[in-house]
Amino acid sequence: MNLDLTGRTALVTGSTSGIGAATAAALAAAGAEVVVNGRDPGRVAETAARIGGRGIAADVGTAEGVAELVDQLPDVDVLVNNAGIFAAQPVFEIPDSEWQRFYEVNVLSGVRLSRHYAPRMAKRGWGRVIFVSSDSSVQIPTEMVHYGLTKTAQLSLSRGMAQELAGTGVTVNAVLPGPTLTPGVREFVASLHPDVEFAEAERRFMAGDRPTSLLGRLIRPEEIANLITYVASELSSATTGGALRVDGGVTSSIIP
């Protein structure tokens, strides 16, 4: 199976760490010209240099940041809407400002970028739009309802956009990672069990907080990137409008 992306340009938002960085590296390894994005110019430049790509620092959680990015990068063949934020907060204590901030970053960033790039892909007859959603889109976490809401919204977005782009050669899909060993998750898990080594903290976390996981461990970012790279490739041409799970079996349902 040859996941050759030579000649394709890919933009991965929020790609200076975690799933985004792993995805940028995987797409570059498959031959794509990868554009790394994040808010910190130093981290963007460092990540881009590491994978041999290009960096554009811009805050895609704002309309101004998206405008700045697309001005520098008018066209892409692969758009990975990965930028996102999460935090734990009791649902009845979340103020309007936080609901709005989560929606702006996790949902509207993908709306704005897809609205610019996807129609241009359709005119060229080929393209891939990928939303990095979460298992939290179908199993809403009680401690992060605002996060779960935005991840569910991404499923509606990807399906609706796929329908609009039917027959154009452009596919739109959502990828649903499960609990993944990103820097933020590592810090969170370690804080729950500060008295033990991380391997034991990870085991306890999965056994207590994610007992339905069939892996029994946190997913590694590279494992998420593998699926995203396939979806970005020519070989995924019949996969569109889907919600594709890469959650380690943590979601106890057959669909999605």
Does 208 lie in the same domain as 107? no
Residue 213 lies in a domain: yes
Residue 252 lies in a domain: no
Does 209 lie in the same domain as 166? no
Burial class (CB in 10 A: 0-12, 13-18, 19+), 64: exposed
pLDDT confidence of residue 256: 67
Does 122 lie in the same domain as 213? no
Q: Are 33 and 12 in contact (CB under 8 A)?
A: no
Does 79 lie in the same domain as 39? yes
Does 160 lie in the same domain as 50? yes
Does 161 lie in the same domain as 92? yes
Characterize 22-32 residue by residue with b for buried, 16 or more Cβ atoms within 10 angstroms of its Cβ, and e for exposed: bbbbbbbebbb
Does 158 lie in the same domain as 238? yes
Does 210 lie in the same domain as 107? no
C-alpha to C-alpha distance for 26 and 224, rounded to whole angstroms: 10
Active site residue 147: yes
- The parts of the chain modelled with pLDDT lower than 50 are none
Residue 56 lies in a domain: yes
- How many structural domains are present in the chain? 2
Out of 103, 117, 147, 230, the active site residue is 147
Residue 254 lies in a domain: no
Does 214 lie in the same domain as 147? no
Does 204 lie in the same domain as 145? no
Does 102 lie in the same domain as 85? yes
C-alpha to C-alpha distance for 124 and 4, rounded to whole angstroms: 19
Name the 3-class secondary structure at 245: strand
Question: What range does the domain containing 210 cover?
Answer: 181-218
